[in-house]
Structure 1
Amino acid sequence: MMNQANKLQNLMSKTSKPHKGTHFVAITSGKGGVGKSTISANLGNILAKNGYKVGLFDADIGLANLDVLLNVRADKNLLHVLRSECSLEDVLIEVKENLWLIPGESGDEILKYDDKNIYERFLNQASVLDNLDFLIIDTGAGIGGNIQNFLEMADEVVVVTVPDPAAITDAYAMIKASSKTKENLLMLLNSVKNEDEALRVFGNIKKVAAVNIKHPLSLELLGFLSQSKDISSSIKKRTLFTDEDTNATDEFKALVSKLLYRLEQKVLDDASKKSFSNFFKKIIERF
């Protein structure tokens, strides 16, 4: 097991890519069970493979499961930080080169704490994460207020759904709620039969949104993932499907490339340098 000093040294060391600040990408859904956490983990994996320093923040308080998907042991989590039993640095898990997990807590006890305390403790210790190129925020499902705070502050919000009527309805509800504070939203269609089905489902959602959402909204399809035994098998084996050379990986790389292009354009438009600590400072101010 890598000791704490080495782990932090790897995180703080300079990457070969110029550090332009941290990009914040929220992966969310209206309904659970649509593959949101799998998308988050594999997005982090692809970015890390390309030399970016990536943090995966398991913000699904009460149902955190990224440690299970990544096949790592989370001995400490946010609950231990809240109890002052450890620091944020102690919670970090180096999954692989350039990829770190900030684990959440899968039990209900964390819900007994005031949310503001969570973010205040992060803020006091957050500078260790300011060298990240990306923070991928795996939110809970649904339209709760705390989830919306994360979404509003993210550079990009990706709404994940599958071509199931209930999931589509909940995805639309998420889009409608988020449109009050976000003018640009992305969609990712997971577990579709083919590209035609992805385009059809997205087209229907976009039409309904155009008619019923009164706020200015640009809704764009980031990409899709076809139904794949490689993906379902990787989940069972607790591996990342993007570690294998498959059609699913090719589809995923295509949507990651599109996401990177969008974020690079935003860097050109926004001269301010964003950091993990500043991000959570703004989150705290909302409580």
Structure 2
Amino acid sequence: MLGQAKRLYELQNLMLNNNSASNDVPVITFTSGKGGTGKSFVCLNLAYLLSSNYYKVLVVDFDLNFANLHTLVNVIPQKTYYDYLNSGVDVKELITNYNSNLDFLFGFSGKDEDAVDPVLIRNLIKEIKSLAGNYDFILFDTSSGGSDLSLEILASSTQVIVITNPEPTSVLDSYAIIKLLTEKNENINLQVIVNKVLKKEDADYTFNNLNTSLQHFLKKQVNYFGFIPFDLEVMSATFNQTIFVEQKPALETSRCFIQLSQKLTKIKQVANINHP
């Protein structure tokens, strides 16, 4: 607690001189209304593809209860941003390099999210964004659901990508998280990816149902970013703690990931045009 209090005092002073993220570096957050949608899997594979195309990427595991990105890539982190929150360790010292273009800032599990000071999280985000000059993309992987801290993280993003599945419960939960997000920031840029689909028509049907409900009840429209087919090989990659698109680049699911990564690069290109 003393460490947190000391860090809070320091960061309140730093806020006056804090450098914000470069305007041309997208901060893209992946979220979902419920667990099990494949949110972390989607974030990880898109990050890997961007890095494979020579973009510098920082991925932050912002699941404040059940961080798992380190497990998915079979890395035991020496430090996490808990060391920042609790002891004031410089964020730059907490970054784990995965390959020449892909870095991670890993999270922690088994901590009480309610015990984390939201001011510290806000300033952690500011310090992460201050590293934007070193990266082309910053990706946040948040916890599912709509906790206050998760909404803080989501509201700080350039874009939010909601991961949903064709199941009715997943669509309802996606509606709920989008409702909470728009109440927090009505101008937030929202995209939807439909994961684990058996055929494209299922993805179209799922998105249309969600978007129709949002338009009718919230007067809010979201953008369809794309879909990812279900594949049993995904389970194998997860079990073996390997990155799916790296191990199975020829499969249809990987080809869909490539298309989605190309859409992300267009976001970067538009940002560069708007902020030359």
- The TM-score, its normalising length taken from structure 2, stands at 0.83
Residue 108 of structure 1 corresponds to 111
Match of 1:242 among 229, 245, 263: 245
Q: Greater CA deviation, 144-153 or 56-65?
A: 144-153
Q: What is the Cα deviation at residue 191 of structure 1?
A: 0.4
Is 1:197 the counterpart of 2:197? The answer is no
Residue 101 of structure 2 corresponds to 98
Residue 265 of structure 1 corresponds to 270
Q: Distance in 1 between matches of 2:116 and 2:150?
A: 16
Residue 169 of structure 1 corresponds to 172
Residue 260 of structure 2 corresponds to 255
Tell me which stretches of 4 or more aligned residues in structure 1 moved more than 6 Å.
Answer: none
Residue 63 of structure 2 corresponds to 60
User: What stretches of structure 1 of length at least 5 have no aligned partner?
Assistant: 1-18, 273-287
Superposed CA RMSD in Å reads 2.2
Is 1:44 the counterpart of 2:51? The answer is no
Aligned residues: 251
Give the secondary-structure state (helix, strand or coil) at the position aligned to 1:80: helix
Structure-2 change in CA distance of 1:151 and 1:120 (3 Å): closer
Structure-2 change in CA distance of 1:179 and 1:49 (3 Å): same
**Identity rate of aligned residues, in percent?**
27
Structure-2 change in CA distance of 1:126 and 1:200 (3 Å): closer
Residue 186 of structure 1 corresponds to 191
Q: What is the Cα deviation at residue 124 of structure 1?
A: 5.9
Please list the CA deviations of residues 39-65 of structure 1 after superposition, one character each: whole Å capped at 9, or x if unmatched: 111111011001011000011111111
Q: What is the Cα deviation at residue 256 of structure 1?
A: 1.7
Residue 23 of structure 1 corresponds to 26
Please list the CA deviations of residues 158-186 of structure 1 after superposition, one character each: whole Å capped at 9, or x if unmatched: 00011112111100111222233235311
Letter in structure 1 aligned against 2:41: T
Q: Greater CA deviation, 184-193 or 255-264?
A: 255-264
User: What stretches of structure 2 of length at least 5 have no aligned partner?
Assistant: 1-21
Match of 2:138 among 132, 135, 138: 135
Structure-2 change in CA distance of 1:247 and 1:210 (3 Å): same
Letter in structure 1 aligned against 2:169: A
- The TM-score, its normalising length taken from structure 1, stands at 0.80
Q: What is the Cα deviation at residue 75 of structure 1?
A: 1.8
Alignment of 1:69-84 (within 5 A): 69-84=72-87
Residue 277 of structure 1 corresponds to none
Q: What is the Cα deviation at residue 125 of structure 1?
A: 8.0
Report if aligned partners of 1:22, 1:134 keep a CA contact under 8 Å in 2.
Answer: yes
Structure-2 change in CA distance of 1:90 and 1:111 (3 Å): farther
Q: What is the Cα deviation at residue 266 of structure 1?
A: 3.9
Give the secondary-structure state (helix, strand or coil) at the position aligned to 1:64: coil
